[in-house]
Chain A
């Protein structure tokens, strides 16, 4: 009896009971507020609390340490009652490889929490959890996250890891970073006083600095503002005449993966070689040991994007039709689930990336993977347009009560003289305001649940046995994949990534004489392999939402037991046993 079939039968019985009681209220065993952000120690505690509360679903592994010796953790969500995680298709979900892109971590943790709360109550998610495994890595770059929370930063700084790096080649590391000159806890902007300035303060709202016209006045004179941009808040700490040119760290771990990796003169921040950082090394080694990963998501901010590779134009041809269709069919659903998010291709619609994480997963490991760029400023007006500077100010005043801005303050700067310091603090852009965090997390979680649901699900659609002569049998096996993601992407098939799927027919008293795929499902011929017919290697796997047909010629007496097994890396193996008999 097919175990899975038995299981889904049980589920059907459960459904009315469960949905009647759920009604979308899913109290958890751990009470977590999803309208706030968590520093890394709080994230670790949350992970531990969840694992303690849901011991039957969750386990936690420390997979390595960061440059600053923080633990890197993977939370494994799996129901051992339905099999080991490694025997199931698994989805990898991570975030916060860029230290400042903090809501990625809350989104990952929300997903863990929601799945645990929903398990046993929401049939769709219960079924998903019973069929698949999830590997969550809440923060790829905890050092960058910790720096962002605890040091003065802007919405854009602390993207890097925290390994000291000599950005300006003067032989000293990290000696000239930004400085919080106005003491507001953030790195704001600086404008220097300049009689020929490019900007002036808006007359209606002096908090807005607006560009003056560069066109001549009718009388032939130029219009000048009083201020010119002077970069982010800071001074020339190392006395080399430059400001903020060697801050903490100075690299980009999302350029350090082994797919199309390029050195730093081609790809800024790439590091000395692929996996040269302790974080990327630990994670890559862990992932390489889990070939059952069949789907991937890596959360970033910002911009409202569902991104797929390739990262460089010359790799466009590597995403061939069938794989592209798989990506599109998932991303297009995502674009409906995530208001103001668009499905995009990294090199075409964003910028060129060499050595990106999703590229490694997709191109080197053959896994259907997306990066979601969380939060879009379009969510401020919620009408599809970006807010103007004035509308942005109104939003900050009226909905956020000014909490994300620091008023401009005139100060004396050692290099620039009189400057204005202030503007948006580190909470002012790229991340949602707390009251919108849960919605963002939930919608993105729901998208990954949809993505995970598309991981291959196989069944024997039919097994037909025909007696050819006495003791000679023709067995025709049709295998269906009921989900969108193929068992082997075209990329994996073409580049020989991982192991091919295998279709095995065996039995103590039978001999497989010949076997092979049937190019046409309803055709009369098949393509026998020359060697090892009892174990067919299926390099192309089973395409998504499709069937593949195979034929075996078997010798054996009527009544002999036969076992058919289809096995592979990215799905749960299926197996059927029967006896040779003329009547099905």
Chain B
């Protein structure tokens, strides 16, 4: 079971809900093994690397004829990067099941699924705080005192979760930063000086000062945040970003896999970043001015349309802002040119309306109408207030532990409470099948829209004795371009190579080999013309190669042309 039953939660429980989530991750990975065993011809499982603690990072390959999987254009699905999103693993596994029910899609494409890219974050031994949820198990001395992981976040009041601590009227050495939000007193906000608000609380992650340095929970267990460890916009000197780009076995494994599988033509990453519900800014560039932050303007239309499709398939209307610096998804796009879509799969639901006060039928309607109360002040963080309202009205309050007094050994009286880690990033278990269907449908949509190259309008004409004029066109009948605009910048995706077999010294016009970056989508085309010295009986081979789908080979003898009947992978 994914979630601890709600009743227990509301009563105050003594088990960590994140442990239950971890169980669900393990269950999903067991389940995926069974799925693969039951589909030996169409699915396989392999290990692409190991985590810091040595757990395998598993890859599931789906393709109609599994032995030919590497010869087809491939679509990649990655999840389980974030410890705060255990549901993403179950969603990917359910999507695998769904994809296996789509034989047409598996005929043309291969799907690579890495459901749990960062297995260490789901280890039971870590009760997760928000801060450490995404870090792998590498010991990091965050406070640089020579002792490692010695002051972790802890569930010090034994309410089953690591949340936050707030300290009222702290002493002079610990100036307050927050106050209870007048719009929603359970939430904290920074003071709005125009309203004469004063800070009265300091905030900490729940924990002790185990190393007696005056800082609370500042050297947590682990680790490096895998989704901050990739080279594009890598946040150097952020202790959780790693000592250098790709310093971690998990990120190295993903990169190695991608580089060794050049036929990947599209990817979906389920994690903390979203570029589907909201298309990212496509104007912003990094410090070099040569690489977009998240999206090149030439690719914006593609992302807009795929985003529309995702919203339609999933019904997701909201996403959470997230800085994607150093993420896997950003790297796949910016440094490899792969069309990479990122999704949180689920956004904040609308809370049910506040139930109306019961109307007393006996009372005269006009006279007893209550005076309209003054509109409550808007909470500073309306998103958080929305989550809280949803938790209260629709989730029996399971998402937020109320502030509870606690006598802290070094801080004195504090209150402990706040949102549960993962509450805002994991859909209720009942929604997982529906979301997995949307994920599978989105992937199949990508497959349907993939580039489709053809070699056409091929003619050969004798223009003078012994001289033939050969013309041909290559066309992309798919909706997606063969190369993103980003790929035209970084030159990493496969180009299209057009070759003619006539020896160089008998080509009067045209190139023996032409390399083009690619074709735009929806009918993008490029024409070619050669004048060659040839004879009426000499066979000439004309080839157009786009590595992900293969080679289209036409033959020409004199004025007779034969178009390719099939693609040579």
Contact = CB atoms under 8 A, between A and B. Distances in A.
A151 interface: no
Contacts of A364: 236, 244
B230 to A, nearest CB: 9
Interface stretch (A270-278, A340-348, A373-381, A402-410): A270-278
Contacts of A314: 287
B138 to A, nearest CB: 14
A368 interface: no
Contact of B497 (A171, A275, A499): A171
Nearest to B209: A531
B212 A241 contact: no
B213 A274 contact: no
Contacts of A274: 231, 244-246
B212 A532 contact: yes
A566 to B, nearest CB: 15
A170 interface: yes
Nearest to A354: B288
A241 B244 contact: no
A179 B231 CA distance: 37
A236 interface: yes
A239 B506 CA distance: 12
Contacts of A170: 497, 513, 515
B145 interface: yes
25 contacts: A169-B491, A169-B497, A170-B515, A171-B545, A239-B513, A241-B512, A258-B244, A259-B236, A262-B291, A264-B490, A264-B491, A265-B490, A266-B288, A266-B290, A273-B246, A274-B246, A275-B246, A284-B244, A364-B236, A495-B237, A496-B239, A500-B144, A530-B214, A531-B212, A532-B213
A450 B19 CA distance: 59
A314 B335 CA distance: 21
A153 to B, nearest CB: 27
Interface in A245-270: 258-259, 261-266
A531 B245 contact: no
Contacts of A53: none
Given A499-B144, A537-B145, A261 B231 contact: yes
B173 interface: yes
Q: Is the interface of A mostly helix, strand, loop or mixed?
A: loop
Nearest to B244: A258
Contacts of B335: 263, 272-273
A498 to B, nearest CB: 8
B393 interface: no
Contacts of B545: 171
A265 B244 contact: no
A314 B290 CA distance: 14
Interface of A: 168-171, 236, 239-241, 258-259, 261-266, 272-275, 284, 288, 312, 314, 354, 364, 495-497, 499-500, 530-532, 537
Contacts of A537: 144-145
Nearest to A352: B288
Contacts of B512: 239-241
A275 B237 contact: no
Nearest to B334: A263
A261 B245 contact: yes
B385 interface: no
A240 B513 contact: yes
B244 to A, nearest CB: 4
Nearest to A262: B288
A239 B212 CA distance: 71
Interface in B371-418: none
B511 interface: yes
A265 B515 contact: no
B259 interface: yes
A314 B490 CA distance: 22
A497 B238 CA distance: 11
A265 B513 contact: no
Contacts of B245: 258, 261, 273-274
Nearest to B291: A266
B146 interface: yes
Contacts of B290: 262, 265-266
A497 B173 CA distance: 27
A174 to B, nearest CB: 16
A64 to B, nearest CB: 16
Contacts of A531: 212-214
B453 to A, nearest CB: 16
Given A496-B237, A531-B214, A537-B145, A263 B291 contact: yes
Contacts of A272: 255, 259, 335
Nearest to A415: B504
Contacts of B144: 496, 499-500, 537
Interface string B502-513: 011000000111
A532 B214 CA distance: 9
Interface in B234-286: 236-237, 239, 243-246, 255, 259
A263 B214 contact: no
Nearest to B290: A266
B152 interface: no
B489 interface: yes
Contacts of A499: 144, 146
A288 B243 CA distance: 9
A158 B133 CA distance: 47
Contacts of A500: 144
Nearest to A499: B144
A318 to B, nearest CB: 11
Given A170-B513, A241-B504, A495-B236, 4 more contacts: A262-B291, A264-B490, A265-B290, A265-B491
Contacts of B259: 272
Nearest to A314: B287
Contacts of A284: 244
B449 interface: no
Interface in B275-326: 287-288, 290-291
B511 A171 contact: no
A239 B246 contact: no
Contacts of A497: 237
B73 interface: no
Contacts of B212: 531-532
Contacts of A530: 173, 214
Given A169-B515, A364-B236, A265 B504 contact: no
B148 to A, nearest CB: 12
Nearest to A360: B244
Contacts of B422: none
Contacts of B237: 495-497
A395 B9 CA distance: 88
Contacts of B146: 499
Contacts of B504: 236, 239, 241
Given A263-B490, A284-B244, A273 B231 contact: yes
A14 B187 CA distance: 74
A355 B511 CA distance: 37
Contacts of A266: 288, 290-291
